[in-house]
Amino acid sequence: MTVAAGIGLGERQAGAGAPPPAVTERRSRRKLTPYLLLVPGMAWLAIFFIAPIVTLLSTSTQTRPEGAEIGVFTQTFRFANYLDALEGYGPEFGRSFLYALLATVLALAISYPLAYAIAFKAGRWRNLLLVLVVAPFFVSFLLRTVAWKQILADDAWVADLLRALSVIGPQTHIINSAPAVVIGITYNFLPFMILPIYASLERVDPRLMEAAGDLYSSALTTFRKVTIPLSMPGIVAGTLLTFIPAAGDYVNSALLGNKDTTMVGNVIDSRFLRVVDYPTAAVLSVTLMASILVLVGFYIRRAGTEELV
Amino acid sequence: MKHLPEDPMIRELVRAQLSRRALLRGAGGVGVAAALAACGTGGGTAATASKPKPAVKDRSASDKIVRWANWPAYLDYDEKSKKYPTLEQFQQKTGIKASYAEDVDDNDSYYGKVQGQLKNGQDIGKDVIVLTDWMAGRMVRQGYVQKLDKANIPNATNLNPALQDVDFDKGRNYSLTWQSGYAGLAYRKDKVGRELKTISDLWAPDLKGKVVVLSEFRDTVGLLMMEQGVDISANFSEDDFNKGLDELQKQVDSGQIRQVKGNSYLEDLRSGNAIAAIGWSGDILLARFEEEDDNYTFTLPESGGTLWSDNLMVPIASPHKKNAETLMNYYYDPTVAATVAAYVNYICPVDGAKAAMEKIDPSLVDSPLIFPTEADLAKVKGFRTLSPDEETTYSEAFQKVIGN
Amino acid sequence: MSRASKGTAQGQVDGGRDLRIGNVTKRFGSFVAVDDLSLTVPSGSFFALLGPSGCGKTTTLRMVAGLEEPSEGSILIGDQDVTFAKPYRRPVNTVFQSYALFPHLDIFENVAFGLRRRGSKEVKKQVDDALELVELGGFAKRKPAQLSGGQQQRVALARAIVNNPAVLLLDEPLGALDLKLRRQMQIELKRIQTEVGLTFVHVTHDQEEAMTMADTIAVMNNGRIEQLGNPEELYESPTTTFVANFLGQSNLIRSSVTGTSGTDVQLEVHGGRLAMPQSRRNGATDDLLIGVRPEKIRISPTGQDANAEQNELLGGVVTDASFTGVSTQYLVRMPWGQELMVFAQNVGVGGVLAPGTQVDLRWDPAHTFALDGSLDAGAGVQRDEGATPVPVG
């Protein structure tokens, strides 16, 4: 920053009453200044994003030589690592995206009415409600998930109630099941959905809804044609903020799931920490990242948010 | 574990995090990113691990500190003063300032966190670390710990003879045992309604879906192998291991074993999700004590239990090795060891501690889980040290079976 | 709701669709915003509701639009009672003060919004026509944010007009525009109204705007209609001090009736004698406030231009003279202390009378109007526009 500012200052002095050559130099320097300002950011990105990504990519094609010490791998450019991993962990990938999708849809269904109520109906309770939405964040992610473990436990009231109502059989448990994992993910990422939707709804001018009513829209049509489109940026942001971390989540599956709810995150965790198989962990990470990128790219294009002002 | 909050719900949660070995697997996840980043710097591309050779001068004489990383609730703690009495005493006696941190919550995670630095021969900011046998073995093999100078640890001779010559550290040149424990049958007697004696007793139809097991393969598969007559401390074959694993697979797939995800078996046992388990002795004593429920039962299976130990070591590049050795020597004093044992409830490795216990808490003198009987010791085996290839293969196979 | 009739082509006047507001009262808690208001807006007229902020004009409009429900009374459009009908079930459209254009839709879709909701045929043609009408033919694909304030205003207008409503409501539609643009749009709005022949109900606090455009103006104050009539009637013959002061400026002078002579009323004003036509008298008592517009008064130095046919007030002193080009505005202090305002057209020679000059004021008796003396002479004075309040002597 100092460097850039210094150049800017010097250039101004040189430019004052300077002959044409100096002017051109000044211009080229002026063009340069914005790029110089980018340097700290780019350096940050290079050190903390690009370098790890390169390392990750490099690790993903390494192999463990026979008899080598644990944690020792050599670069053999074995791209078949990817095929092996995809072959071995297809269901885990499918599950990750399925659970993330279900949780995102659920979170949206829960969040939208809530955000709507806070934005338009809460009145003086608005701030309190917002604080309540954020409040769970003050508790560690782990503890919140562990709390669900208690809530959904076999002899806790939820299971007792459902059993009493014959919704579930006497031997069925809620905990350690796919629904429990989806519930956990939904719960943990709910604020990420509520807040952006609230933020975009809060900016919707209520007079636009009056105008829609004036132009022959019933309340439902107004909601469909005006409120929802205007809150689209919030919906897109919320679904992304929920879906992306949810697809990579492993805590919920580890705490609330069973061996049939394993997600990619769990496999990465176990390959990395338990088995010390860095290449497989890297392959899975790269693949997860790439598939999320592709999915999100399609989604944003479909949602057409770039057209929203 | 005597300093937990009053509120039962919060206590449950905190306990879930603190419990020595029933730690949430998720907690280890934080280490993934750090370790992932670290693995890049280490240049893990060399086929043979060249042992780090840092040029570190011991500054113990001038720098009178020792930094100790241990597992949660693994040292006597005084609720009122919020201090560790034996550690306070150590500081007064030696003038060495000790900084104690409950940094180790999982062998694998801790390894993941510090491995990158150790590989480069860097100081990890700890002078004493505590890791379980097999991980201690890995550290010794990879040259990540410093050789101990027994001259500075005269009390090391108090080490129980059975623990003196372990296969991962012949002659105990790099490590000293901190505490030991058993893995065996753990269950709630009132809920099960009978005594469990063998591992096969866990497969009774009425326990279907109510059984949980440890996610440490050396203990879980180890017990199954012992049931099948394999000596896990001897040179068993891969087939032997796979047979044990097959049994596990069968019980997991049939739903007999409820779930082995994460390391939360104790929580499942306490919440009633499970009523019988393959578990650790100390955890069950802890649960019995905390829940004030004598129905929490730990027993060694008839076919035998596994024995594991956690070991004190000095990481490579620690500049306070002599201070660390002074600390080890202090904790190998029988009275100090007995004081710790009375608190942590694990098997005390120090000879003479039993006699010292008479003065500290006579009721514990006859506790077989602190001072094991000859009969018990005859029934337990330690899992032999695996070669890197074996470790990788077994670990991966086990993770697959439990759904990771 | 006769949807079929709403699909009719633009420009056709729906004859039997007068807007009739009958004894409507609207209360917000204990506050009475609209107080027993009745009025009829004939179909096809340009009607203005004029009054200061808080007079109840916007509330009245919102009740017609269906955005508020009346506490009492009824609202009819033609024979259809819409008092409690939902907004989307009324043949009414509104041009909002903020325009309320949908930011996520382009101009075309904004204008098409109402048509699409009613499943109208030929949306494209109707929208194109409407955009053409407001001279925004080439802007269909733009987003509202890409348009200037004046253009947005036209879109809002087109969006309402395209539905061919029985009544088009305009809520301070020009309020956000600058003065020059406002003038332009006033003319434009009037042109459009004439062209499409719809009933326009225009709410404004700007008397000039109302007078420029409206056929009929209802001046509202405190939730009631003070006076209703065409702009000229309201200006020349206000019936209340509020109207006299709110529409333009008035000199209001206390006087008492001394008798009648033919069609004239004889008055006494601070010792002087004046006359005025009986027909222009409002107020039955002998205590009256007589009014005369500043531009009706001729000002001349004392002793000049005496004329027995004229009303005369003698012995004034010029206290202030501002030359504005077209005219000169004088403040003249009268012997009884009141300052009267005089606008003198700069038609002759002789220049401006300097402050301190002794002057006489004269005007045609026919230009005099009289109001009930019990009214507040200061009511309706628009202080915010810089007019000096006229104290009454």
pLDDT of res. A21: 52
What pLDDT was estimated at residue B261? 57
Radius of gyration for the alpha carbons in chain B, expressed in angstroms and rounded: 21
Query: pLDDT, tens digit, for every residue of C329-378?
Result: 999 999 999 999 999 988 876 678 899 999 999 999 999 999 988 888 88
Q: Residue B222 and residue B381: Cα distance in Å, rounded?
A: 9
The angle, 0 to 180 degrees and rounded to 10, between the axes of the packed helices B85-94 and B334-344 is 160
- Cα of first residue to Cα of last residue in chain C, in angstroms, is 58
Q: For the residues B280-300, what does the mean pLDDT come to?
A: 89
Residue A27 pLDDT: 63
- State the Cα–Cα distance between residues B67 and B365, nearest whole angstrom: 31
How many Å separate Cα B404 from the centre of its chain? Answer: 22
As a whole number of angstroms, the distance between CA C27 and CA C204 comes to 21
Contact yes or no for C87 and A230 at CB 8 A: no
Dihedral Cα A239, A245, A247, A248, nearest 10 deg: 170
Domains in chain A: boundaries? 22-54, 86-308
DSSP notation for chain A: -HHHHHHHHHHHHHHTT--HHHHHHHHHHHHHHHHHHHHHHHHHHIIIIIHHHHHHHHHHTEEPPTTPPTT--EE---THHHHHHHHHHHHHHHHHHHHHHHHHHHHHHHHHHHHHIIIII-GGGHHHHHHHHHGGGGS-HHHHHHHHHHHTSTTSHHHHHHHHTTSS-TT--SSSSHHHHHHHHHHHHHHHHHHHHHHHHHTS-HHHHHHHHHTT--HHHHIIIIIHHHTHHHHHHHHHHHHHHHHH--HHHHHH--TTS--HHHHHHIIIIIS--HHHHHHHHHHHHHHHHHHHHHHHHHHTGGG--
Question: Measured between beta carbons, which residues in chain A are less than 8 angstroms from residue C66?
Answer: 213-214
Nearest CA in chain C to A228: C104
pLDDT score recorded for residue A31: 77
Confidence of residue B285 (pLDDT cuts 50, 70, 90): confident
Q: Which of residues 115-154 of B touch A (CB under 8 A)?
A: 115, 119, 138, 141-142
| Amino acid identity, position A55 | T
Chains B, A in contact, 3 or more Cβ pairs below 8 Å:
yes
**Residue B22: pLDDT above 60?**
no
Task: Categorize the per-residue pLDDT at C389 as very low, low, confident or very high, splitting at 50, 70 and 90.
Answer: very low
CA dihedral over A185, A187, A188, A194, signed as positive or negative: positive
Sort out which chain A residues have CB atoms less than 8 A from B245's CB and list them: none
| Tens digit of each residue's pLDDT (9 = 90 or more) over C188-230 | 899 999 998 999 999 999 998 999 999 999 999 999 999 999 9
Q: Which two tokens stand for residue B141?
A: 């093999």
What's the pLDDT band for C109 if we cut at 50, 70, 90?
very high
Return the partners of chain A (3 or more C-beta pairs < 8 Å): B, C
What ipTM goes with this model?
0.79
Is the Cβ of C96 closer than 8 Å to some Cβ of chain A?
Answer: yes
pLDDT class of B10 with cuts at 50, 70, 90: very low
Q: How far is CA C33 from CA A131, C56, C86, C220, C376, in A?
A: 37, 5, 21, 11, 21
The residue with greater pLDDT, C150 or B55, is C150
Nearest by Cα to C198 from C105, C133, C272, C287: C133
Q: What is the pLDDT of residue C384?
A: 47
Q: Do A210 and C143 touch (CB under 8 A)?
A: no
Torsion of CA B376, B377, B378, B381, to 10 degrees: 120
| CATH no., domain A86-308 | 1.10.3720.10
* C117/A215 CB distance under 8 A: yes
pLDDT digits (tens, 9 = 90+) for A196-234: 999 999 999 999 999 999 999 999 999 999 999 999 999
> By mean pLDDT, which of B28-32, B333-337, C142-146, C306-310 is the weakest?
B28-32
State whether A149 and B271 contact (CB < 8 Å): yes
Can you say whether the dihedral through the CA atoms of A82, A86, A87, A92 is positive or negative? Answer: positive
Cross-chain residue pair A254–B387, CB shorter than 8 Å: no
**With bands split at pLDDT 50, 70 and 90, how would you rate the model's confidence at B33?**
very low
For residues C285-313, average pLDDT: 88
- Per-residue pLDDT reduced to its tens digit, B72-91: 889 999 889 999 999 999 99
Confidence of residue C3 (pLDDT cuts 50, 70, 90): very low
| Domains (range + CATH), chain B | 39-180+308-371 (3.40.190.10), 182-307+384-401 (3.40.190.10)
Q: Can you tell me the distance from the alpha carbon of C393 to that of A162, in angstroms, rounded to the nearest whole number?
A: 87
Residue B310 DSSP symbol: E
Per-residue confidence band for A119, with pLDDT thresholds at 50, 70 and 90: very high
- Per the document, the length of chain C is 393
Q: Which residues of B touch A261 (CB under 8 A)?
A: 403
Contact residues, chain A, for C64 at CB < 8 Å: none
Average pLDDT over residues C266-286: 87
| pTM (global) more than 0.80 | no
Sign of CA dihedral A291, A293, A297, A299: positive
Judging contacts by C-beta atoms under 8 Å, the chain B residues touching residue A185 are none
Asked if B50 has any chain A CB less than 8 Å from its own CB, the reply is no
Alpha carbon of B273: minimum distance to chain A alpha carbons (Å):
6
Chain B neighbours, 3+ Cβ pairs < 8 A: A
Query: Could you tell me which chain A residue has the CA closest to the CA of B209?
Result: A171
Stretch B297-310: mean pLDDT, rounded? 94
Two tokens, residue C290: 């007589």
* Residues of chain B with C-beta less than 8 angstroms from the C-beta of A267: 404
pLDDT 10s digits, B170-200: 999 999 999 999 999 999 999 999 999 999 9
Are the C-beta atoms of residues C103 and A309 closer than 8 Å to each other? yes
What burial letters (b/e) apply to A146-182, b meaning 16+ CB within 10 Å? bbbbbbbbbebebbeeebeeeeeeeeebbbbbbebbb
Reported confidence tier of residue A303, pLDDT bands at 50, 70, 90? confident
Euclidean distance between CA atoms A175 and A179, whole angstroms? 8
Share of chain C above pLDDT 90, in %: 64
In the predicted model, what is the mean pLDDT of residues B290-299?
Answer: 91
Give dist(CA C95, CA C101) in Å, integer: 10
Q: Do C87 and A229 touch (CB under 8 A)?
A: no
Q: How far is C380 from chain A (nearest CA, A)?
A: 30
DSSP C291: E
Task: Give the residue from C15, C37, C47 showing the smallest Cα distance to C204.
Answer: C47
pLDDT band at C62; cut points 50, 70, 90 = very high
pLDDT at residue B6 above 50? no
Structure confidence by residue, pLDDT tens digits, C169-196? 999 988 878 888 888 889 989 999 999 8
pLDDT confidence of residue B4: 40
pLDDT for the residue B50: 72
Q: Is B287:B296 a contact under the CB 8 Å cutoff? A: yes
Question: In this predicted structure, what is the pLDDT of residue C1?
Answer: 36
Residue B373 touches chain A, beta carbons under 8 Å: no
In this predicted structure, what is the pLDDT of residue A238?
94
Residue C385 pLDDT > 50: no
Beta bridge partners of C46: C200
Q: Summarize the confidence of residues B258-277 as an average pLDDT.
A: 79
Does the beta-carbon distance from B48 to A69 stay under 8 Å?
A: yes
Q: Are A77 and A61 in contact (CB under 8 A)?
A: yes
pLDDT for residue A69: 87
| pLDDT score, position B140 | 94
- CA separation, residue B374 to residues B178, B351, B369, C4 (Å): 20, 14, 12, 101
Mean pLDDT of chain B: 85
Residue C89 burial class via C-beta count within 10 angstroms: exposed 0-12, middle 13-18, buried 19 and up: middle
pLDDT digits (tens, 9 = 90+) for C119-170: 988 999 999 999 999 999 999 999 999 999 889 999 999 999 999 999 999 9
Q: Give which of A64, A69, A96, A277 to mutate to test B binding, by max B Cβ within 10 Å.
A: A69
C-alpha C266/C-alpha A122 separation (Å) is: 66
Cβ distance of A215 and C98 shorter than 8 Å: no
User: Tokens 């009275």 sit at which residue?
Assistant: B335
Nearest to B399 among A67, A261, A270 (CB): A270
Q: Is A108 in the C-facing interface, judged by CB distances under 8 Å?
A: no
Please check the confidence at residue B263 and state whether its pLDDT lies above 90.
no
| CB neighbour burial string for C36-59, b if at least 16 within 10 angstroms, e if fewer | ebebebebbbbbbbbbbeebbbbb
Closest CA–CA distance from residue A208 to any residue of chain C (Å): 5
List the alpha helices (DSSP H) in B254-304: 265-271, 281-291
- Chains B/C: 3 or more C-beta pairs closer than 8 A? no
Across the interface, do C88 and A232 touch by the CB < 8 Å criterion? Answer: no
The fraction of chain B above a pLDDT of 70, given in percent, is 87
CB contact under 8 A, A207 and C98: yes
Contact A216 C88 (CB under 8 A): yes
Residue A172, pLDDT above cutoff 70 = yes
Top-confidence residue, A94 or C326: A94
A61-77 pLDDT per residue, tens:
999 998 888 888 999 99
* Closest residue in A to B265 (Cα–Cα): A255
Q: Which of A74, A146, A267 sits opposite B47 (nearest CB)?
A: A74
pLDDT at A26: 62
A-chain CB neighbours of C102 within 8 Å are 208, 211-212, 226, 229-230
As a whole number of angstroms, the distance between CA C336 and CA A217 comes to 63
CA distance A38 to chain B (A): 25
pLDDT value of residue B260: 62
User: What average pLDDT does the structure give for chain C?
Assistant: 88
What's the rounded Cα separation, in Å, for the pair C75 and C69?
10
Which pLDDT band, with edges at 50, 70 and 90, does A29 fall under?
Answer: low
Q: Cβ contact (<8 Å) for A210 and C96?
A: yes
For residue C139, the 8-state DSSP code is G
| CB B320 within 8 Å of CB B67 | yes
- Under a CB-based contact definition with an 8 Å cutoff, are residues B197 and B302 in contact? yes
Residue of A nearest to C159 (CA): A215
- What pLDDT band is residue A308 in, cutting at 50, 70 and 90? very low
Cα–Cα distance measured from residue A234 to residue A116, given in angstroms and rounded to the nearest whole number: 12
Q: Which amino acid is at C254?
A: R
3-state secondary structure of B305: strand
Q: What local confidence, expressed as pLDDT, does residue B338 receive? A: 95
pLDDT at C251 (0 to 100):
94
Beta strands B305-313 and B176-188, pairing class: antiparallel
